[in-house]
Amino acid sequence: MRPLTPVFRTFLSAAAGLVLAGAASLLAGGASAEGVPVRIGVIPVIGAAPVFVANGEGWLKEAGLEPKFTTFESGPNMIQALASGTIDVYVAGIAPLAVARTKNIDVRVVAATAVEEMVFVAGPKLAPYFADGASKADAFKAFHAKEGRAARLATQPPGSVPNTTLQHWLWQVAKTTKADAEIVAMGIDATQQALLAGAVDGASIREPALTIVQARNPAIKLIATGGEMFPDQPGTVVGVFGAFADKNPAAVEGLVKAVVKAVDLLKMDPARAAPPVEAALGKGITDVATIQKALSSPAAKFTADPRVIVEATKKMQAYQVTIGTLDRDIPVDGLFVPSFYEKAAGK
């Protein structure tokens, strides 16, 4: 047998090194150096900012994720995508998830992002009726008497957090007579446009719509904050499809850790957090300064801890039953999985 030449020995040594390195990579990080593809459905609101910041800062990529975002107009619409298997992660309001569970859709809330997001604003025609300390019910009654019709109020579809919150404020908090207020369901963009065009008299909205509409028309007035409309109002959450969570627990852990870091950044340095949020929400209709202002709004309260909204979620579900958007109260056991947050936050 002929002896190996130095060149050939070098080649074999290098090849062996590559094989060993590849094997080590498989053992350490799975079958590929590529990240885990994750399809994230989002509502284009400030409440979803932690996910946008986590992506913009590169923390999702660092967590081994390859995110692909799809925008939806409401939580109920996103539930359909979750049920059909076209998204893996749901970033929207908590209310539609109760409906999802009644349809045997396995979705688990692993983090919150914001609370008390929804506020009520009155347009230029309706706003004066709330002046001089008039009760909310009396303001709607006076508008009806003067205008000869009920006030038209825009919000998202039945079953959504905006719709549920508005109904709770109107009928339970303000004690408004149903003859004096008419709820009109439409998408987020349509709500903003209808309010600015005067096609509706008021609306339940959240940031950045609140900052945008008041900047464009200062006659649009903030009438009720999120805490007034529904105390401890549960807002946007991060829900993960059960099959995805079971298959990719490390990816879910990384996702939640990135959200926790993003919430901290939003609270400490909104100026740094604003650009990735503007990139996700701006669509050429607003700018970074507007987004930064929205991030510091009374309607922007960020938290990643899903445990803080459990009790409020139970109350919201109970109210949904009374207004007919939920057939029955659904136990929240199994809906909230706080272990990912507790590990990420070191709690």
Identify whether the C-beta of residue 41 lies closer than 8 Å to the C-beta of residue 90: yes
Identify the pLDDT of residue 184. 97
Burial class (CB in 10 A: 0-12, 13-18, 19+), 23: exposed
Identify whether the C-beta of residue 90 lies closer than 8 Å to the C-beta of residue 78: yes
Q: What global pTM score does this model have?
A: 0.83
The token duo for 252 is 């879910």
Identify the pLDDT of residue 37. 96
Identify whether the C-beta of residue 115 lies closer than 8 Å to the C-beta of residue 303: yes
CB atoms within 10 A of CB 10: 11
Identify the pLDDT of residue 159. 86
H-assigned helices in the chain: 6-29, 49-56, 59-62, 75-84, 95-102, 136-147, 161-167, 188-197, 209-216, 226-229, 242-247, 249-268, 270-281, 288-295, 310-323, 339-345
Identify the pLDDT of residue 238. 97
- Could you give phi then psi for residue 119, rounded to 5 degrees? -130, 165
Identify the pLDDT of residue 139. 97
Structural domains in the chain, sorted by start? 36-115+233-345 (3.40.190.10), 119-229 (3.40.190.10)
Provide Rg for the chain, Cα atoms. 24
Question: Largest Cα–Cα distance of the chain, in whole Å?
Answer: 107
Q: What are the pLDDT tens digits along the chain (347 aa)? A: 444 444 434 433 444 443 334 333 333 333 345 789 999 999 989 999 999 999 999 999 999 999 999 999 888 888 888 888 899 999 998 888 877 887 888 999 999 999 999 999 999 999 999 998 889 999 999 999 999 999 999 999 998 889 999 999 999 999 999 999 999 999 888 999 999 999 999 999 999 999 999 999 999 999 999 999 998 899 899 999 999 999 999 999 999 999 999 999 999 999 999 999 999 987 766 899 999 999 999 889 999 999 999 999 999 989 999 999 888 887 787 899 999 999 998 86
Task: Write the CB contacts of 191 (distance below 8 Å, at least 6 apart in sequence).
Answer: 154, 155, 156, 200, 203, 205, 209
Q: How far apart are CA 1 and CA 326, in angstroms?
A: 81
Burial class (CB in 10 A: 0-12, 13-18, 19+), 209: buried
